[in-house]
Amino acid sequence: MPRKERLFILGLPQIVQLQGHNKSELFIDDDDHDYFLQCIDNAITRYGGDLHSYCLFAANALLLITPNEKENIGAIIQHVGRRYVPYFNKKYQRSGSLWEGRYKSCLVEPENYLLPCMHYIESGGMLLTVAAADYPWSSYRHNAGLTTLSRITPHAEYNLLGKTALQRGDAYRRFSQKPISHYILQRISDCIRQNTLLGMAKFCQQLENQLQGNVRPRKRGRPRKNYNISEQQLNFIETKIRLLCQQYSYIEIKLPLIQDVSLSPELLNFSMQPQRLASYNHQTILSSDGSLSCLQFVNQHSELLQGSKVWYQGPIFRHTSEQHDMLEQYVQVGVEAFGWEDDAIVAEQLQLQYELFKVLELNKEVELRINYIGSLDEFAAFRYALTTYFQPYAILFDQQRQAWLQTTPEYLLVDYPLELEPVIKLAPKLGDYLTVAAKGRFQQLQQLLDNMGLPYVVTPHLYPASHYSDILFEWHGEHIAPDSLLCRGGRYDEFMTQVMQQPSHACGFAFMLDNVIKLLVATGHRPDEYNDYKIIVIPEHHIDGALGFNVCRQLRQSFPGIAVVLDCTEQLAIKRQTNANKKRNNIIVIIHSDELNNIDLLCKEQREIGLSLDAVRARISRLIQA
């Protein structure tokens, strides 16, 4: 089978990994490190390229290089191998290959992943809370502004950290103090192992369309075409969300499926795609966003604006991508808080979301992306600048992009023809339209999230899909791309202030439960409580029916959160036991006589006999708490 061709795209940096054969050491003393770096310097000088970051550990070397040509990386590694390997073999009286096969590499989308990759490299590719400032064989001290290394060429994205070297070093030190999330570690490892591209889904999709091939890591097995979402899965996740919301003091409210927007037409602007129904006055819509229904509820109960926390669940409706005259139904759970001015409420909601993903065992499969877009006026000024800048290039845009140019020109920064990449790089930057106070507010939120231990990625091109202002956030799971969006939210204080005609503060988010369940299925995660326990009571003989009801009543009192069922069918007892035992989490209680001291307990192929009812309760309690 031919080996995979190296993926190369001009201008994109690459992570290069060299490992010792059979996990043997590549470097033993300081002279080895020095000579290896000399070989790297000579190779880059000879073949061209920019070295942005590196780290030399005993058994592996990690480099971040932007090559000038496709063959440069291979030539650089070959040059190093022809000089360093003979040096190492001669010095330590060994022979044969020093490397573990071919070097491994992956491309990096610099705008979103350059800094995380630099942190990954300077941490040695391990889960370290901070890059070691005292470790002499990495580029961390240079990038943190603590020393100067002539071999390092800063990337353009690194230069955006500040106007001076001191500012850039200080910003990078703060960034490196955050731990690398398990999600980022896993994605980088997968991309290096498969020689693919580390980037956002839309960026990868653009390159795949251009190259007519896959640039993202593949998952094991055949791609899943359909995701069958069961009622049991929905009930399980909704139960977990309800419990979390209760713990965070959010109150559930019931919202209608159909809204009469004539009651509050100004709120209709908050919805992304309102689905109108045929009616005599055309004022009736199907809910396409639970937030709209929630805002109408608050509009009718204005006292909630003074400090309330609510959550809701239910179906929403969107047009299908293939047929715009057809609707698809989705399930959404939303959480909203009104009356809290401090951004601590944002941090609390992000923590609630992270707690849910931990309960579902998905915390290593999801990524939190945040951005700060400023006030509505600041963002409007940014949009106007983009429209003015892109107007001369409008003739190059298709119909969809021309529509974006008039209403949401920021989308052009995310989805654009690759031939316009030089134009995109020179487009106005959102940060140029934010005040110093706004930037300071965002830094305070980041510091709070760091102190809480919440992993996140600042995504400059994360823009609002609705009337959000200030802070935006989204959770994504790339395993189910392009439907990777799991949760979206942010603050919308200014919108509520305009609608309510009084100073108002609001922050909220919504889970896309369909996508959350897809991610559960795609990653193969099955939480321990995925199938809730159920107690099946089976009388073995035709005994007094009241005894069976009495046992069920006492078990329900002891375990109010578990369903207890009395099997009253006419089948033989052994047949009823067999049927009940087909589900792994069924707990089977078998009554043999009219007394409560001769009960059998069967669960997960383990059987205990001759128990009293108190002993049965104790065994079940230990079982469900294990």
Instruction: Report the alpha-carbon distance of residue 337 to residue 505 in Å, rounded.
Output: 8
User: Is 549 among the domain residues?
Assistant: yes
| Tens digits of residue pLDDT in 338-385 | 888 889 999 999 999 999 999 888 888 899 999 999 988 899 999 999
| Tens digits of residue pLDDT in 150-204 | 999 999 889 988 889 899 999 898 888 877 778 888 888 889 988 888 888 778 8
| Tens digits of residue pLDDT in 42-66 | 999 999 899 999 999 888 899 999 9
Nearest 5°: phi and psi at 433?
-110, 5
User: Is 89 among the domain residues?
Assistant: yes
Q: What range defines the domain where residue 580 resides?
A: 534-625
Residue for token digits 């310097």?
A: 41
Instruction: Report the alpha-carbon distance of residue 192 to residue 300 in Å, rounded.
Output: 54
Reported as type and span, the H/E element at residue 46 is: helix 30-47
Q: What is the pLDDT of residue 133?
A: 65
User: Is 119 among the domain residues?
Assistant: yes
Write down which residue in 211, 233, 267 finishes a domain: 211
Is the pTM higher than 0.85? The answer reads no
Confidence of residue 87 (pLDDT cuts 50, 70, 90): very high
Q: What is the pLDDT of residue 328?
A: 73
**218 vs 145 pLDDT, higher one:** 145
Q: What is the pLDDT of residue 503?
A: 85
Nearest 5°: phi and psi at 369?
-115, 130
Residue for token digits 């790339």?
A: 478
Residue for token digits 């073949």?
A: 47
Written as six digits, the tokens of 43 are 């190779």
| Tens digits of residue pLDDT in 533-592 | 788 888 876 655 677 888 888 888 888 778 888 887 777 777 887 887 777 678 888 887
Question: 63 has which bridge partners?
Answer: 16, 54
DSSP structure string for 102-164: S-EEEEE-HHHHHHHHHHHHHTTTS--SS--TT-TTBSHHHHTTSS--TTB---HHHHTT-SS
Could you tell me the end-to-end alpha-carbon distance of the chain, in angstroms, rounded to an integer? Answer: 48
What letter represents residue 166's amino acid?
A: L
Confidence of residue 277 (pLDDT cuts 50, 70, 90): very low
Q: Is residue 86 reached through a cis peptide bond, with omega within 30 degrees of 0 on the bond before it? A: no
Q: Cα angle at 492 between 487 and 494, to 5 degrees?
A: 170
Instruction: Report the alpha-carbon distance of residue 565 to residue 553 in Å, rounded.
Output: 10
Q: What is the pLDDT of residue 41?
A: 93
User: Is 73 among the domain residues?
Assistant: yes
Write down which residue in 157, 192, 211 finishes a domain: 211
User: Is 477 among the domain residues?
Assistant: no
Q: What is the pLDDT of residue 201?
A: 79
Q: What is the pLDDT of residue 325?
A: 63
Where is mean pLDDT largest: 82-91, 301-310, 509-518, 519-528? 82-91
Closest CA to 285 of 263, 312, 261: 261
Q: What is the pLDDT of residue 128?
A: 45
> Is 22 within 8 Å of 107 (Cβ atoms)?
no
Is residue 458's pLDDT more than 60?
A: yes
Q: What is the pLDDT of residue 142?
A: 92
* Long-range contacts at 417-425 (CB < 8 A, ≥ 24 apart): 418/206, 418/207, 418/210, 420/393, 420/396, 423/390, 423/393
| Tens digits of residue pLDDT in 69-79 | 888 888 999 99
Q: Cα angle at 456 between 455 and 460, to 5 degrees?
A: 165
Q: What is the pLDDT of residue 34?
A: 93
Residue for token digits 């199907």?
A: 286
Reported as type and span, the H/E element at residue 538 is: strand 534-539
Is residue 473's pLDDT more than 80?
A: yes
Give all strands (DSSP E) within 234-356, no chain letters.
251-252, 258-260, 275-276, 284-286, 308-319, 327-338
Closest CA to 253 of 286, 301, 318, 288: 301
Is residue 131's pLDDT more than 60?
A: no
Number of domains in the chain: 2
Written as six digits, the tokens of 325 are 């005259």
Residue for token digits 């939120």?
A: 445
Q: Ramachandran region of residue 598, left (φ > 0), alpha (ψ -120 to 50) or beta?
A: beta
The CATH number covering residue 582 comes to 3.40.50.800
- Provide the mean pLDDT of the chain: 82
The CATH number covering residue 29 comes to 3.30.70.1290
Burial class (CB in 10 A: 0-12, 13-18, 19+), 339: middle
Give mean pLDDT, residues 203-209: 80
Q: What is the pLDDT of residue 127?
A: 46
User: Is 619 among the domain residues?
Assistant: yes
**61 vs 598 pLDDT, higher one:** 61
Write down which residue in 181, 211, 241 finishes a domain: 211
Q: What is the pLDDT of residue 270?
A: 56
Confidence of residue 529 (pLDDT cuts 50, 70, 90): very low
Q: What CA–CA distances, in Å, run from 563 to 246, 532, 558, 575, 587?
A: 21, 9, 11, 21, 10
User: Is 372 among the domain residues?
Assistant: no
Instruction: Report the alpha-carbon distance of residue 620 to residue 326 in Å, rounded.
Output: 49
Residue for token digits 């959010």?
A: 250
User: Is 512 among the domain residues?
Assistant: no
**448 vs 126 pLDDT, higher one:** 448
